[in-house]
Amino acid sequence: MKKFAVVGRPISHSLSPKIHNEFAKQCNLKISYEAIEIEKDFESTIKEMFTSGYDGINVTIPFKEKAFQLADQISFKAKTLGAVNTLWQQNGKIFADSTDGPGFINDLKNNSISLKDSSLLIVGAGGSARSILATIVKKEPKQVIIINRTLAKAEALTSFFEQSKTEVSISSLTDILRKEITGVINTSSAGLLGEEILLPQGVFESTQWVYDLSYSKQITAFNNLAKENGVETYFDGLGMLVFQAAASFQIWTGKQPDVQKTLGFIRTRL
């Protein structure tokens, strides 16, 4: 029996165990998959888990950047991100990849959203933003604006894309946003943690859609804020979660599960 887990903080809300168990059922595999909240040192915990027999570990908020630093071998496409969400061990080395970007884009496609020539606003500049930004830029939006409480962190993120055809810039939370925005992508955990969601004035005035990487049974706090400000099209991160989970599952097992079937199954059990 293969042994997997997702680690993060908080983690009790995670649907990853249900998703991966459904994948295993479809693929006739026997696995165990746990949700583990890390309270102590991340690096020592992960190494202890692999030593004790785990075959693969998913990493979520707030440890994606630490997972990147821990890994001995990082996939080519994840090297520029500085954050990963999928770990496994081979020949005594810890390997890492990021399935968040493809998971995000696949869910947008599933909802008939195209990023080409669009103007995007990304809220947050942490590991979750890092994990999807490179994939977003490859889809050729016209511009991407990043806002974050700490401007230096947002500036550091934009530095990876100075040679990109897409204009990647930053804006202050206190500025009035005067550019027309096609879509707003929330990567911040403020709503999930019950903290105040800080946004620039006028952020939703021209917005056609919003996407919150968090998910819940009810509408998320961020999506509800957008809805209250007139945005009619909004998505939560459940679809991204299932698509990225399928990519992790394939890395670990070599099996490709049915994402659409699993997504329908999970939505009925939120």
Token digits of residue 202: 């006028």
A 10 A CB-CB count for 50 gives 16
CA distances, 219 to each of 12, 78, 210, 253 (Å): 18, 31, 12, 33
- Residue 193: partners with Cβ closer than 8 Å, 6 or more residues away: 10
CA distances, 36 to each of 57, 66, 165, 205 (Å): 10, 16, 40, 40
Residue 64 appears among annotated catalytic residues:
yes
- 62 cis-preceded (ω within 30 degrees of 0): yes
Would you say 72 and 93 are in contact if contact means Cβ atoms under 8 Å apart? yes
Would you say 236 and 220 are in contact if contact means Cβ atoms under 8 Å apart? yes
* Ranges of H-type helices in the chain: 16-26, 42-51, 64-70, 100-110, 127-138, 151-158, 221-228, 238-253, 259-267
Residue 160: which of 147, 176, 144 has the closest Cα?
A: 144
Among the options 2, 47, 64, 109, which is catalytic? Answer: 64
Would you say 99 and 248 are in contact if contact means Cβ atoms under 8 Å apart? yes
Q: What pairs with residue 170 in β-bridges?
A: 146
Q: From CA 227, how far away is CA 231, in angstroms rounded?
A: 5
Active site residues per annotation: 64
